[in-house]
Structure 1
Amino acid sequence: MPDEPTPDDALPGKALPDIVAPGLDVLFCGINPSLMSAERGHHFARPGNRFWPAIHLAGLTPRRLSPDEDRELLRHGLGVTNVVDRPTRTAAELTPEELRAGAAALERLVTRYRPRVLAVLGITAWREGFGRPKAVIGRQPERVGGADTWVVPNPSGLNAHFQLADLARVYRQLRPVPGTG
């Protein structure tokens, strides 16, 4: 992984540009942008979203980044995209067809950029988009686009089933400790 990865230009027509470069350690994949994230032009921009503190507590970034620093993820071997590009107030507004189409587009993106790990942030999006109705949180038996694939808890503040420490514990598993593979 180069010290200064250079991302490709965002795909035209996306409400929120992907932050992606070839060979990332982890590509995080949210369900879809919130209205606030799309308006601000940065991923996980809602104040109650726990993505930024969780990845820092997991040891994936050396300090807590803010949403307006989302492009800094690339310096740490991380990236972010979404299953569906359309911003909504809640992910419940998405149709099954949007999730399935988004899953197919995600597979193409992952095949193109070859991250080591794809981390889908939300079990419901995974189950619906990828046709895995009985899937559970954790490492998945199938790979998407050649990447080791995990489904991890969604960091939205609306997801009360997982506290910040739980998110950090799960996210820590996504990247091996240096020297261990």
Structure 2
Amino acid sequence: MVRAWHMNEVTEDQRKPHMTDPPQFVTLDQLKDLGVLYFGISSDPAKAEEQVTKLRKDRGYTYQDEVICSREKLPNYDETLKTFFTEHLHSDEEIRYVTEGSGYLDVRDKNDKWIRIEVVPNVFIILPAGIYHRFTLDEKNYIKAHRYFVGEPVWTAHNRPADDMEIRKEYIRNHPNAG
């Protein structure tokens, strides 16, 4: 099960949970209002393969690869993590299926506050095109995930501000509870 919460304003070490005190958890319905979709995948490998295959077919994901984020596996580790943590959007959905390790995806709520989404094994998460977001590892400094795309992958990140982009305008139109 995925967990999500509003973040505090502390800017030290991005890899920490940064929960408010007391914690202000965010429900799956609140994430869905922002266009963020979550699917829990079975820990049983055969069932997991069946679930992921169905999601890929139903959503038209034709391209898949795997990414490992760790100091040993990720080229230009420090610089790449800085890039991932820079607030941006994409013109396509961002789809991740976590198989090992953990990290955080952060998205903005309707009041422009950060929501931190914990991604752990068996989490399949979809961020809609046009949503401002960022990614960081947690303090374990390791995650392994599959990435999916419709057609050939597009890796272009558009750093904020990108409010004039049509995909951002479309996101706002389609998600009136989003900011």
- TM value normalised by structure 1: 0.24
Q: Which has the higher contact order (CA 8 A, sep 6+)?
A: 2
Higher strand share: 2
- Which has more radius of gyration? 2
